[in-house]
Chain A
Amino acid sequence: MAAYTKSLVVIAAVLVVFAGVPSAQAPATPQRIISLIPSVTEMLFAIGAGPRVVGVGSFDRYPPEVLTRTKVGGLIDPDIERIISLKPDLMVVYATQTDLRTQMDRAHIPIYLYQHSGLPDITTTIRAVGKRVGNERAAEELARQIEDDIAATRRRVAGRPRPRTLLVFGRDPETLRGIYASGGIGFLHDMLEAAGATNVFADVKGQSIQATSEVILARAPDVILEIGIDTASSPGRNLRAWDSLASVPAVRMHRIYQVRGDEMMNPGPRVARAIQRMAEALHPQVSDK
């Protein structure tokens, strides 16, 4: 029964988001903002609302100023007491955090519901957040800049051969176990396509897929692009793990690239730069010009 009610709440929440109905009352320009979501925190700072951010999520690392803000938990463990004690007048939460939303409603704290899926959602969110916090113009400029930068990268790679690429965003160190790759849905897939590649898992209806060695051998990608792979283990040994799949063109032609940095997996304001870095790895000729 509880699960049933909960799923109804989730469905209702999704409907609310899609309908674009503002949740709770929308007061004047918020002065004390809390964001639990790294990409939205980054957006707030990028559009000049940073000074009004009083609390951030546990996983927020960028920009460096966030380290001076109070940490109030994350997706699964928001610290309600600390949130309320910060007296926020706007709280950015994941659409799936239904318990937190109920509690915020009870405490009369206005919320902004966040959810993302594809690349276009990033600039849509920037504009919507900008409007909500009263930085509409800066948000519009930022969003347009990102869209222009992405379009520029798209133009630079247009007409070039699009390598069939496996985009890996997680794997056990130094082995080919636990490989997670981008499926055909979501911002990682969109970023890869914008950077001038064809996703080998474009047909997979999901944001991620656990790729077994058989599937990778069968799909035979021309390029393997690894992003956000942990850095502690030695990169050379980590790369050599792929050698056992010798028939994969990417392995044979030594076209396995590792692009590090947390912006690679963050659907925030640095996404255009991330796409550019992907494009430079995929099309080395482009960056020379």
Chain B
Amino acid sequence: MSIRQRIALTWLGFGAGAIAVCLGAPLVGSTSIDFSRVFDTSIPFADNIDAQIFFVARLPRVMAGAMVGSALAASGVIFQALLRNALATPFTLGVSAGAALGAILALTFDLPSGIAGFSAVPIASFAGALGAVAIVYALARARRQGLSTNVLLLAGVTLNSFFSALIIFVQFLADQTQTFRTVRWLMGDLDVSSYAPMIAAIPPIALSFAAFAVLPRSLNLLSISDESAASRGVDVHRTQRLAFLSASLATGAAVSLGGPVGFIGIVVPHLVRLLVGADHRLVLPASALGGAAFLVACDTVSRTALSPLEIPVGVLTAIIGGPFFLWLLIRSR
């Protein structure tokens, strides 16, 4: 099979899976709704509980899950290639810790209302993510031309610990109920209950995905070594810069939308590699689509399994993803 055919097949297979999950997920929930009423336009929307549950509670939530899952899984692929490290995640370089610090400052000190109707928490977390990216980027460029992946990794990991310490310090200053809220934020939550936060997250994620689209070939070469990539005509510095900034931007937007949902950025790319191989032209689209399907599926379990209670989605991604990944790992060897 030619690579073109394999790419088409990957898009088709993973695309169909993602669409099936995203279409199926809004059909189930903690309550049963009457679908003939949902689309009945003769009932005023304000009086139509079934339509409100579908359009206000479920649909935005599924869309948010798809966006966050897709962005985190694709960013995971990029970071693993950029750092040449199978253990890299979108959160390795401090982006999520920066986002968490921003969100927690907003939650703890009840920052005044955000800009243009958006609430303070997502704005503060996105600002925190960008701040972390800027620091890591500046450090990695300080001593040489281009990005030193070694410095990138060390600076990121150090910044992660530093921000985590600041988070704990802020929690220490806050009172108990606020601490509980911040801990809960760290587990991820996709109950966005309106479309506004998603509209805000679309531009950065779309911009990142546009960059992802031109990266796969260069990443294939870059994941071998800088030298071999350069000898094949890849502008190594430019590729690294584009990869780092776009993946960080996508991660920051995803975390400000749904919180730092763990595990997706590492488990989905590896699952996908077990299925389609290591070629980034296949891995990247498959991970983006698979990440969307995986998170939407996990969130569906999270909101239905113990209803009316809710299992934090970040807990479920690890509980479901971990064993499944280990099983695949053993089976494929």
Q: Do A and B bind?
A: yes
Contacts from A to B (Cβ < 8 Å): 59, 74-77, 170, 172-178, 180, 201, 204, 206, 209-215, 217-220, 230, 232-234, 237, 244-247, 252
- 1/0 per residue, CB under 8 A from A, across B97-126: the answer is 000000000010011111000011100000
Q: CA A267 – CA B29 in complex, angstroms? A: 35
Residue from A77, A206, A232, A252 in contact with B172 in the complex, judged by beta carbons closer than 8 Å: A77
Give chain A residues whose Cβ lies under 8 Å from the Cβ of B114.
174
Q: Is B191 an interface residue (CB 8 A)?
A: yes
Give chain B residues whose Cβ lies under 8 Å from the Cβ of A170.
177, 181
- B309 in contact with A178 (CB, 8 Å): no
- B194 in contact with A176 (CB, 8 Å): yes
- B110 in contact with A74 (CB, 8 Å): no
- B177 in contact with A212 (CB, 8 Å): no
Contacts A215-B307, A233-B112; A244 near B181 (Cβ below 8 A): no
Residue from A172, A201, A233 in contact with B308 in the complex, judged by beta carbons closer than 8 Å: A201
- A218 in contact with B120 (CB, 8 Å): no
- B56 in contact with A178 (CB, 8 Å): no
Q: Is B79 an interface residue (CB 8 A)?
A: no
- B194 in contact with A233 (CB, 8 Å): no
Which of A173, A180, A201, A237: most chain B Cβ within 10 A? A173
Q: CA A244 – CA B194 in complex, angstroms? A: 7
Q: CA A116 – CA B146 in complex, angstroms? A: 60
Shortest Cβ distance from B182 into chain A, in angstroms? Answer: 10
Residue from B31, B113, B121, B172 in contact with A218 in the complex, judged by beta carbons closer than 8 Å: B31
Q: CA A248 – CA B194 in complex, angstroms? A: 15
Residue on A with the closest CB to B29? Answer: A214
- 1/0 per residue, CB under 8 A from A, across B21-62: the answer is 000000001110000000000000111110011001110000
Additional A-B contacts beyond A213-B57, A217-B31, A232-B112 (11; CB < 8 A): A172-B107, A173-B120, A177-B189, A178-B184, A212-B193, A214-B57, A214-B191, A230-B110, A246-B46, A246-B52, A247-B47
Contacts A178-B189, A212-B57; A245 near B52 (Cβ below 8 A): yes
- B53 in contact with A172 (CB, 8 Å): no
Q: CA A111 – CA B2 in complex, angstroms? A: 77
Contacts from B to A (Cβ < 8 Å): 29-31, 45-49, 52-53, 56-58, 107, 110-114, 119-121, 172, 175-177, 181, 184-185, 189, 191-194, 303, 307-310
Give the number of A-B contacts (CB < 8 Å): 111
- B303 in contact with A178 (CB, 8 Å): no
Which of A201, A204, A217, A232: most chain B Cβ within 10 A? A217
Give chain B residues whose Cβ lies under 8 Å from the Cβ of A211.
308
The 7 nearest A-B residue pairs measured at CB: A214-B57, A213-B193, A218-B31, A246-B46, A213-B57, A232-B110, A230-B110
Residue from B49, B111, B191 in contact with A212 in the complex, judged by beta carbons closer than 8 Å: B191
Residue from B52, B308, B310 in contact with A247 in the complex, judged by beta carbons closer than 8 Å: B52
- B56 in contact with A244 (CB, 8 Å): yes
Q: CA A233 – CA B31 in complex, angstroms? A: 33
Which of A59, A204, A215: most chain B Cβ within 10 A? A215
Q: CA A173 – CA B57 in complex, angstroms? A: 19
Q: CA A210 – CA B177 in complex, angstroms? A: 13
Contacts A75-B176, A178-B189; A212 near B303 (Cβ below 8 A): yes
- A247 in contact with B309 (CB, 8 Å): no
- A237 in contact with B113 (CB, 8 Å): yes
- A234 in contact with B113 (CB, 8 Å): yes
Q: CA A210 – CA B114 in complex, angstroms? A: 24
Give chain B residues whose Cβ lies under 8 Å from the Cβ of A77.
172
Q: CA A234 – CA B119 in complex, angstroms? A: 12
Q: CA A220 – CA B48 in complex, angstroms? A: 12
Residue on A with the closest CB to B302? Answer: A212
Residue on A with the closest CB to B304? Answer: A214
Give chain A residues whose Cβ lies under 8 Å from the Cβ of B111.
173, 232
Contacts A173-B110, A212-B30; A247 near B181 (Cβ below 8 A): no
- A178 in contact with B176 (CB, 8 Å): no
Residue from A173, A177, A180, A217 in contact with B56 in the complex, judged by beta carbons closer than 8 Å: A217
Contacts A75-B176, A173-B119, A177-B191; A233 near B110 (Cβ below 8 A): yes
Residue on A with the closest CB to B52? Answer: A247
- B175 in contact with A59 (CB, 8 Å): yes
Residue on B with the closest CB to A201? Answer: B308
- B181 in contact with A178 (CB, 8 Å): yes
Q: CA A247 – CA B47 in complex, angstroms? A: 5
Shortest Cβ distance from A171 into chain B, in angstroms? Answer: 9
Residue on B with the closest CB to A215? Answer: B308
Q: CA A204 – CA B308 in complex, angstroms? A: 8
Q: CA A211 – CA B46 in complex, angstroms? A: 20
- A176 in contact with B193 (CB, 8 Å): yes
Give chain A residues whose Cβ lies under 8 Å from the Cβ of B192.
177
Shortest Cβ distance from A69 into chain B, in angstroms? Answer: 18
Shortest Cβ distance from A221 into chain B, in angstroms? Answer: 12
Q: CA A237 – CA B53 in complex, angstroms? A: 23
Residue on A with the closest CB to B114? Answer: A174
Q: CA A252 – CA B175 in complex, angstroms? A: 34
Residue on A with the closest CB to B109? Answer: A232
Pick 25 A–B contacts, CB within 8 A, sort by A: A59-B175, A59-B176, A170-B181, A172-B107, A173-B111, A173-B120, A174-B119, A177-B189, A178-B181, A178-B184, A178-B185, A180-B181, A210-B309, A210-B310, A212-B191, A214-B31, A214-B53, A214-B303, A215-B307, A217-B53, A230-B110, A232-B111, A245-B193, A246-B46, A247-B49
Give chain A residues whose Cβ lies under 8 Å from the Cβ of B308.
201, 204, 209, 211-212, 215, 219
